[in-house]
Chains A and B, each alone.
Chain A
């Protein structure tokens, strides 16, 4: 599968979509549309992504080197490099987040040390560092292997690095 800018953005942003419905940032109909694209392994068009994830888009623009903020490099850099600092700085809605929520929202990178199949749910055991290991859903990235380095958002494996 070719990683288009839309697909890379969508993979990182989609795990937040449940909460965007609750926050009324997006409508249930828009959520259904996002679910359809995700379940069919397709990326929505940019205009839908811009409407559904306005805060992330605003930040993508801020960190872009030039006017074209829709590049794979810029999107990965935003989610992997800048996203966590924005959370730690408690920018925007993160100001009212609890510590638990802030940690959950961060994008982490780690290495898969084991894989479990729990009633059909693939669960990766991911080691972030010498002291930290966590359980991560493989629902969105089912084909990773032990020793693969992956990125994680909201306890979901997002992509191999």
Chain B
């Protein structure tokens, strides 16, 4: 358990970010993390942005998830 797919912030409005996952978007509170901006890759859980992920790591994770899906 405890794996997660990174998403990309496409909008921030006050305390709420809109995070894009290619197949869906989710809203999440940004109250736990400082200095977030549009374009950042983040991990969201239970309605909160949990952490910011460096772009290189996020792209690697997304690629790994896509490959895992091909093996289902």
Contact = CB atoms under 8 A, between A and B. Distances in A.
Interface residues of B, number: 24
Contacts of A96: 3, 64
Given A119-B31, A135-B31, A155-B32, A101 B2 contact: yes
Interface string B1-21: 111110000000011000000
B14 to A, nearest CB: 8
B3 A97 contact: yes
A53 interface: yes
B43 to A, nearest CB: 7
Interface in A144-160: 154-156
Contacts of A119: 14-15, 31
A16 B1 contact: yes
Given A98-B57, A139-B46, A154-B2, 4 more contacts: A25-B1, A118-B15, A121-B31, A135-B34
Interface in A93-131: 93-94, 96-101, 103-105, 116, 118-119, 121, 123
Task: Name the residue in B46, B51, B53 with the highest tally of chain A Cβ atoms < 10 Å from its Cβ.
Answer: B46
